[in-house]
């Protein structure tokens, strides 16, 4: 006899006697083919009065896989729930064993996620308490860092000098190419934008003042800060987060070595030393970018541009810029280290920590810029 694989899978119901219903399974029951719906069969079972037993006939079954099992599991579960006896003798041996296995696995009570969605008030409360606990945690961390910094100045903090130099190299020298490119281009953009307006009044020469003051006082520090947030802050968070996952931080703690002193302090020192230097360098590159536009597009003379820049810049502008840079350095290091140290113990937690470090740093940089700008205005600097 030839089996036609094109024959569809069928489930037919037949009443054997008063209290027994037989489900006859025919054809190939494969996941990939169209299968009868368990719902339909169950509906028929439910609508049959006086039923006490359900049995199976699988003589016509040619092939089967998980498709059949899923169908049967659904039927068995529903029938058991409505106190119907299921007789599995008519099923192939393998199917029977798998069905028993599927129903035998004891589910740990409470292991399945609850599907109850908490009410609006509960969710608001959760968010507030989480935020409260989070800020408490952040302040605790800042406190720890402050204590460690105090120990640094009294010469009692312990970390490896080699670590500090490595981080200085990573966060300083190795950041030069990207800082050059970005600040040069920011200088060019600034000059272009200014030139369009200033040319109308024949005041092209003031492009030098615009670029000089803009870069030195604010933009160089902000751009460098953002570059460092993406480059170094993210790397701090990922590095410390991975150390948390590998229990390296636990190992430090059991040895009685403070992870804040050993890991956070060198990173903070390195970044707050390097940021002002990088800012100074970015100032120079930005002015160079402006000069390129001035000389090549606006037909200004090198010396003229240089003299105008010197004339319009005050030393205070430089101090404000460098101070901002140092503040941003501390912020980026703090955010990176905080997120890294508070990282969970999984790969996805490291990813979240990294993202969160960058976002926190950038928000911090912008807020700090606003505060510094307003403060300088009030102080008349």
Partner 1 sequence: MVTESVDVTSTDTHIVVENLTIAYGDFLIQRDLSFTVKRGDIFVIMGGSGCGKSTVLRALTGLKCPDSGRVFYNGVSFWDADPAEQKRLMRRFGVLYQSGALWSSLTLAENVALPLQEYTALPPARIDELVSLKLSLVGLSDFEGYYPSEISGGMRKRAGLARAMALDPEILFFDEPSAGLDPVSARLLDDLILELRDSLGATVVIVTHELASIYAIGNNSVFLDSETKTMIASGTPRRLLAESTDPKVINFLTRGEPEKRHFQETPDQAAAQDTLTTGDSA
Residue 34 neighbours by CB under 8 Å, 6+ apart:
8, 9
Q: For residue 26, list its beta bridge partners.
A: 10, 60
Is 1 buried (19+), middle (13-18) or exposed (0-12) by CB count in 10 A?
A: exposed
CB 259 to partner 1: min, Å: 11
**Judged by CB, which is closer to partner 1: 19, or 250?**
250
Residue from 34, 196, 255, 296 in contact with partner 1 (CB under 8 A):
255
**Judged by CB, which is closer to partner 1: 59, or 162?**
162
Rounded-to-integer distance, Cα 33 and Cα 332, Å: 57
Residue 238 neighbours by CB under 8 Å, 6+ apart:
340, 350, 353, 354
CB 235 to partner 1: min, Å: 13
Is 38 buried (19+), middle (13-18) or exposed (0-12) by CB count in 10 A?
A: middle
Which part of the chain contacts partner 1 (CB under 8 A), choosing from 171-179, 218-226, 249-257, 352-360? 249-257
Is residue 345 a contact point for partner 1 (CB under 8 A)?
Answer: no
**Measuring CA to CA, which residue among 69, 15, 304, 263 is closest to residue 157?**
263
CB 166 to partner 1: min, Å: 8
CB 7 to partner 1: min, Å: 44
Is residue 253 a contact point for partner 1 (CB under 8 A)?
Answer: yes
Is residue 130 a contact point for partner 1 (CB under 8 A)?
Answer: no
Residue from 47, 119, 154, 254 in contact with partner 1 (CB under 8 A):
254
Interface residues for partner 1 in 69-98 (CB under 8 A)?
none
**Site mask, partner 1, residues 156-195, x = CB under 8 A?**
--x----x--x-----------------------------
- Kindly list the distances between the CA atom of residue 7 and the CA atoms of 2, 28, 172, 306, in Å, as whole numbers in the listed order: 11, 8, 72, 88
Interface residues for partner 1 in 223-242 (CB under 8 A)?
242
Residue from 57, 63, 248, 304 in contact with partner 1 (CB under 8 A):
248
Q: Cβ distance 208 to 308 under 8 Å?
A: yes
CB 248 to partner 1: min, Å: 5
CB 254 to partner 1: min, Å: 5
The two tokens of residue 11 are 């489930």
Is residue 252 a contact point for partner 1 (CB under 8 A)?
Answer: yes
The two tokens of residue 15 are 């009443």
Residue from 44, 250, 307, 314 in contact with partner 1 (CB under 8 A):
250
Is residue 270 a contact point for partner 1 (CB under 8 A)?
Answer: no
Is residue 380 a contact point for partner 1 (CB under 8 A)?
Answer: no
Q: Cβ distance 276 to 320 under 8 Å?
A: no
Is residue 246 a contact point for partner 1 (CB under 8 A)?
Answer: yes
The two tokens of residue 244 are 């948390």
Longest dimension (CA), the chain: 109
CB 273 to partner 1: min, Å: 20
Rounded-to-integer distance, Cα 358 and Cα 343, Å: 14
Rounded-to-integer distance, Cα 86 and Cα 96, Å: 11
Residue from 251, 307, 366, 375 in contact with partner 1 (CB under 8 A):
251
**Where on the chain is the footprint of partner 1 (CB under 8 A)?**
158, 163, 166, 242-243, 246-248, 250-257
């Amino acid at each position: 006899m030839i089996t036609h694989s094109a024959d569809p899978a069928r489930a037919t119901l037949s009443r054997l006697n008063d209290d027994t219903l037989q489900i006859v399974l025919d054809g190939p029951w494969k996941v990939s083919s169209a299968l009868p719906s368990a719902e339909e069969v169950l509906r028929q079972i439910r609508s049959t009065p006086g039923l006490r037993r359900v049995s199976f006939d699988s003589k016509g079954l040619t092939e089967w896989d998980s498709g059949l099992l899923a169908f049967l599991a659904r039927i068995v579960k529903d029938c058991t729930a409505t106190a119907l006896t299921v007789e599995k003798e008519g099923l192939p041996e393998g199917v029977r064993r798998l069905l028993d296995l599927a129903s035998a696995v004891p589910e740990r009570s409470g292991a399945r996620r609850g599907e109850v969605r908490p009410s609006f008030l509960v969710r608001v409360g959760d968010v507030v308490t989480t935020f409260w606990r989070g800020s408490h945690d952040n302040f605790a961390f800042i406190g720890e860092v402050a204590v460690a910094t105090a120990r640094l100045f009294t010469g009692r903090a312990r970390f490896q000098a080699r670590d500090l130099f490595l981080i200085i190299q990573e966060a300083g020298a190795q950041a030069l190419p990207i800082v050059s490119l970005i600040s040069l281009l920011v200088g060019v953009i600034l000059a272009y934008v200014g030139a369009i307006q200033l040319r109308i009044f024949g005041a092209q020469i003031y492009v030098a003042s615009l670029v000089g003051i803009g870069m030195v006082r604010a933009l160089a520090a902000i751009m460098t800060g953002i570059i460092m947030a993406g480059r170094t802050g993210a790397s701090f968070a990922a590095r410390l987060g991975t150390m948390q996952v590998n229990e390296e931080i636990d190992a430090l703690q059991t040895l009685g070595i403070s992870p804040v002193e050993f890991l956070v302090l060198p990173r903070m020192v390195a970044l707050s030393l390097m940021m002002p230097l990088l800012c100074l360098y970015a100032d120079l590159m930005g002015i160079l970018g402006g000069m390129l536009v001035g000389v090549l597009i606006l037909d200004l003379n090198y010396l003229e541009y240089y003299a105008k820049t010197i004339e319009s810049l005050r030393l205070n502008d430089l101090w404000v810029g460098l101070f901002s840079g140092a503040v941003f350095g501390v912020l980026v290091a703090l955010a990176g280290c905080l997120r890294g140290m508070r990282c969970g113990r999984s790969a996805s937690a490291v990813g979240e920590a990294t993202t969160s470090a960058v976002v926190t740093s950038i928000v911090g940089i912008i807020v700090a810029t606003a505060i510094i700008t307003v403060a300088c205005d009030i102080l008349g600097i």
